Amino acid sequence: MSDLVADKVNMVFNTKGGGTVHALKDISFTLKQGELLSVLGPSGCGKTTLLNIIAGFNRPTGGAFYLGGEEISGPGLNRGMVFQQGALFEWLTVAENVNFGLRMKGSDKKETAQKVEEWLDIVGLQGFGNTPTYQLSGGMQQRVALARCLINDPDLILMDEPLGALDALTREKMQTLVLKIWKETGKTIMIITHSVEEALLLGERLFVMAPRPGRLHKEYQLPFAEQGLTTDPREIKNSAQFSETREEILTMIWNMEEEIMGKTNAA
Amino acid sequence: MIVGTLFIILICLLIGSIIYGRRLVRTEVTDAVFGNPTRALGGWHWIVAGVSSILIIWLYFSWDAGRAFFPKSANELCQVAKLNRTANPIRSAFPLEDRLLRSTLLLERDYGQMDALESKLANTNFNETDRAELQSVISEMRATLAAQADPKLMDPGTAGRLDEIATRINDLAKNIADDNYPSTPDPDREKALAQPAWGETSTEIPPMPMTDLGYKFSKAAEVMDGISKDFSKIRNNGENITAKLEALQARYKGFKIDESDGEEITAQRKELLKQVEKIYRRIDDGKIFPSAMTQKVEDALINLDDVKKSEQGMLRYIDIFALPGGDILAGNRACSEQGSGRWLPKPSDTLQTFVKMAHPDEGYKGIPLLWYKMKPVGEVFEILIPDWIANLVPGEYPRHDDAGNVLTNFKNKVYNFATGNYESMMIPVPIGHIWDSMMRVLAGLFFGIILGVPLGLYMGLSRFAKGFFDPLIELYRPIPPLAWAPLILTIFGIQDDGKIFLLFMVAFAIMVISARTGATGTQLSKIHAAHSLGASKFQIIRKVILPNSLPEILTGIRIAIGVCWGTLVAAEMLAGTTGIGFVENVARKQSDYEIIWMTILLLGLLGLLFDLIMRFIIHRTIPWRGKG
């Protein structure tokens, strides 16, 4: 099966001043197929670096990621990525954005059109196929980005703060959509987020990362994602277990930030 | 007729759109805050107002409107100008337009020259007796000048002649004021009416009087001519003065130059004596009169001016208000427009010239401005197929056989095809100066784009390309294209090749820089997205980086068109036998204002056309600009 395995991944950047920054240190974990993972951490802890390495945009300086037993050495169609601002091609229409990957492969046109219809339906954009992308709202753009990524049928979906730029209401709707897609497609999904609530809601598993050097600090197994499939997310958020975990993690991150500030001040 | 109607329509349009604009502002008052950029949106009526203002100004200052409303006034003003011209020799002797009386001016000048002569005499090598003699001659000259200015010493005959001139001028003034003057009808009226009308032959105004008013002034001009000639014959050298002058002449003629002191000193002495003689001749002219004795003539001239003004009536106001910025002057044979009427050609004339030059029957230097010609298809597309393609076909070109027959073979057929040498359908092909200029710009631009854009994108993505090509482009880019022109035109020839290469150089640098800016500005996340969607390197350039750079590239093309257009015209002025710049250059040498003006307008309009097309393209292709 195509599990994601991290084997002692290290990432060291050389700075211009001649020093080094240890962005990731000895990251090891296994993400089973169909799991939903959210990654949380203070800014500068290497979340995005981690994601870029898994996507294949950067190469680690030590260790390796394996997807389905194969080492990751570059971007590939078995991993799809959703970016913070959507990163849509604004010169194309919604449908052209969604079928971009298939067109690059040179797939059959009829089949492609059919697939695009299906996916626009799933993400709730029926009838928007010919709309120019630049006319869409932020939430709709993210829906297009999701469809564009999913249409290629990747094994692993990487999301880099996908809902960060959305307003609260749209955000809740999108969270439900992500859960729905996770359930219906059974894909492995890895989400990076700044929001603790979102991480709790959208994480079957949750990694809290610590900075300097970037490392896995603590791992949680959470029931909320499973609950979210059937229950109203607002109800979950009001449960005692949810608030407790949230407070615990917030305190943890708060302490890390304090520590960084202290370090910076001492230096 | 058409121009007059148009002029009135334009004024109505201007006033109408101003009123409309004012009214529109009144309805907006509630949300009209200064600094709100949306207030600059719309406003086609101000475009109407702007365009009609320009046209009104042009029609007005080129005298086209004046000509349309008062077609005969130029001919009448021409007759007045004739009177002015013939009166000029007398008028210039009096402070009517100048500040000083002519006699005062002459006295001042002659005294000044004698002062200079005296100081020169002091510095020239003469013996004492010679010096004293010459000094005495100069002093005597001063006395003679003073005598000419003295009314008491003036000859009564001369005074009488001056009085007679004054009387004749007064009589003429009386005649002009008389409605029945001249008493006989104009014998040449029919011939005058048959003259080509105002503006029909370039800028000339029909010279023969076509109206009664004109005839009156033309007749008066003839009389005035006689008076002027008689006046210029009068000389103030009566008996008293003649005696003095003769004595003076005897003295300086009798003066012997001492030639014993070497050639150089002798030459100096001769030079001085020559100057004495020169001043003597001036005094001998007798053009200095006592100011009191010429007062009557001056009064008569002022009277004549008054009569002339009042007799012109409306004509004067037409001259001032309908024909602004210059006068009509009469030459020996013809009358001409001066000022803005001369150098600002009339719109209707310009349009006529354009239509004439556009048509192949007239053209300019044998080539029309813009027309079409029927050409076989083969000849038109021959340029697209390189001739050497036939050389690649296996075999030899045919040779004649022993019987002298020239047979053709496949290789030869291919060659004929490549050179367009075959029977084909005739299609219309545009030709002419405008077409040539446009094709040069488009060709230069085309090569600039297809070579510049890929290099620019490459430079935006590769450190090597950026570093390697940057010095080359940055070094030649700031050089004004015209500085290259002499060299390029020498190497590539003055025909199309050189000009297209020059324009290519201009467009290339601009396209490289804009494509590079566009490529550099691509968001990394978009490239990442394309990668993770499985796009290859080439696909990323073609499908992501190129469209992402389109706004910069299109802006670059827009700028390049403008710069190329300017460079082309200048290059065509330097050398060549066709093109708008060539037309203007030839017209410049012939001072043909109409054609110069027409080429300027054409260049402006074509530049505007190019820009509008580019704006349209930009609007259609990158509506997403700034919204990504």
The Cα diameter of chain B in Å comes to: 118
- Residue with structure tokens 């505007």? B608
List of residues 6+ apart from B36 with CB closer than 8 A:
none
A152:B535 CB<8 A: no
Distance (Å) from the C-alpha of residue B544 to the closest C-alpha of chain A? 7
Candidates A82, A90, A96, partner chain B, best to mutate (most B CBs within 10 A) = A90
Q: What angle do CA B42, B43, B44 make, to 5 degrees?
A: 105
Sign (positive or negative) of CA dihedral B50, B53, B54, B55: positive
Alpha-carbon distance A91 to nearest alpha carbon in chain B (angstroms): 6
B336-360 confidence digits (pLDDT tens): 888 888 888 889 888 988 888 888 8
Provide the chain B residues 511-570 that lie in CB contact (below 8 A) with chain A. Answer: 523, 525-526, 528-536, 539, 543-544, 547-548, 550
Return d(Cα B421, Cα B423) in angstroms, integer: 7
| Record: contact A105-B534, CB cut-off 8 A | yes
CA distance B618 to chain A (A): 13
**Measured between beta carbons, which residues in chain B are less than 8 angstroms from residue A152?**
533-534
Interface probe, candidates B524, B525, B526, B533, chain A, greatest A C-beta count within 10 A: B533
Kindly state the helix (H) or strand (E) to which residue A173 belongs, with its residue range. helix A168-185
Q: Tell me which DSSP letter residue B542 carries.
A: I
pLDDT value of residue B544 = 92
Complete DSSP assignment for B279-346? HHHHHHH-----GGGGHHHHHHHHHHHHHHHHHHTHHHHIIIIIS-SS-EEE-SS-EEE-THHHHS--
Q: From the list B528, B548, B624, which residue is nearest A134 (CB)?
A: B624
Minimal CA separation from B574 to chain A, in Å = 44
A positions 192-221 inside 8 Å of B (CB)? none
Q: Nearest by CB to A80, which of B526, B532, B547?
A: B532
**CA distance, residue A255 to nearest chain B CA (Å):** 32
What's the pLDDT at B36? 76
With CA atoms as reference, the chain A residue closest to B549 would be A91
Residue ranges in chain B whose pLDDT is less than 70: 29-33, 202-203, 626-628
- Partners of A89 on chain B (C-beta within 8 Å) are 526, 529-530, 543-544, 547-548
The neighbour count for residue A34, using CB atoms within 10 Å, is 16
Question: What pLDDT was estimated at residue A266?
Answer: 54
CB-nearest to A148 from B533, B536, B547 is B533
Which residue from A77, A85, A100 is facing B525, i.e. has the nearest CB? A85
Question: Which residues 586-625 in chain B show a CB within 8 A of chain A?
Answer: 622-624
Its pTM stands at: 0.78
Q: Do A91 and B624 touch (CB under 8 A)?
A: yes
H-only helix segments in B149-234 = 156-177, 189-193, 212-233
Nearest C-alpha neighbor of B419 from the set B392, B375, B393, B380:
B380
Q: Under an 8 A CB cutoff, do A87 and B531 touch?
A: no
> CB A132 to CB B531 under 8 A?
no
The answer to whether B396 touches B411, Cβ cutoff 8 Å, is: yes
Query: Under a CB-based contact definition with an 8 Å cutoff, are residues B465 and B452 in contact?
Result: no
Interface check for A153 against chain B (CB to CB < 8 A): the answer is no
Check: CB of residue A62 under 8 Å from CB of residue A253.
Answer: no
Q: Which residues of A touch B523 (CB under 8 A)?
A: 87
Closest approach of chain A CAs to the CA of B610, in angstroms?
A: 24
Whose tokens are 């290059």? That residue is B571
A81 to B539: CB separation less than 8 angstroms, yes or no: no
pLDDT of residue B223: 94
In chain B, the residue whose alpha carbon lies closest to the alpha carbon of A147 is B533
Distance from CA of B521 to the nearest CA of A (A): 14
A165 interfaces chain B, CB cutoff of 8 Å: no
Size of interface A-B (CB pairs under 8 A): 76
Residues in chain A closer than 8 A to B549 (CB atoms): none
Q: How far apart are the CA of B617 and the nearest CA of chain A, in angstroms? A: 14
Q: Which residues of chain A make contact with B531, given a CB cutoff of 8 A?
A: 56-57, 75
| Chain A residue with Cα closest to B536 | A104
Reading chain A (267 residues) residue by residue, the pLDDT tens digits are 578 888 888 888 888 888 888 888 888 888 888 889 999 888 778 888 899 999 999 899 988 899 888 888 888 888 899 988 878 898 999 999 999 988 888 888 888 889 899 889 888 888 888 888 888 888 889 889 989 998 988 889 999 888 877 888 888 888 888 888 888 888 899 999 888 888 888 888 999 888 878 888 888 888 888 888 888 878 888 888 888 888 988 888 888 888 777 766 654
Of B531, B543, B628, the CB nearest to A90: B628
Residue type at B383 in one-letter notation: I
Residue with tokens 């990323």: B540
- Helices B212-233 and B73-91: crossing angle in degrees, nearest 10, is 10
State the Cα–Cα distance between residues B177 and B304, nearest whole angstrom. Answer: 9
Q: What is the pLDDT of residue B465?
A: 93
Does B548 sit within 8 Å of A87, measured CB to CB? Answer: no
Does A73 reach chain B within 8 Å, measured CB to CB? no
Q: How far apart, in Å, are the Cα atoms of A33 and each of A153, A187, A209?
A: 14, 7, 22
Domain edges within chain B: 2-57, 67-344, 374-429, 433-621
The complex's ipTM works out to 0.91
CATH domain B433-621 topology: MetI-like fold (1.10.3720)
Residue A75 Cα, gap to closest chain B Cα (Å): 5
Which residues of chain A make contact with B537, given a CB cutoff of 8 A? none
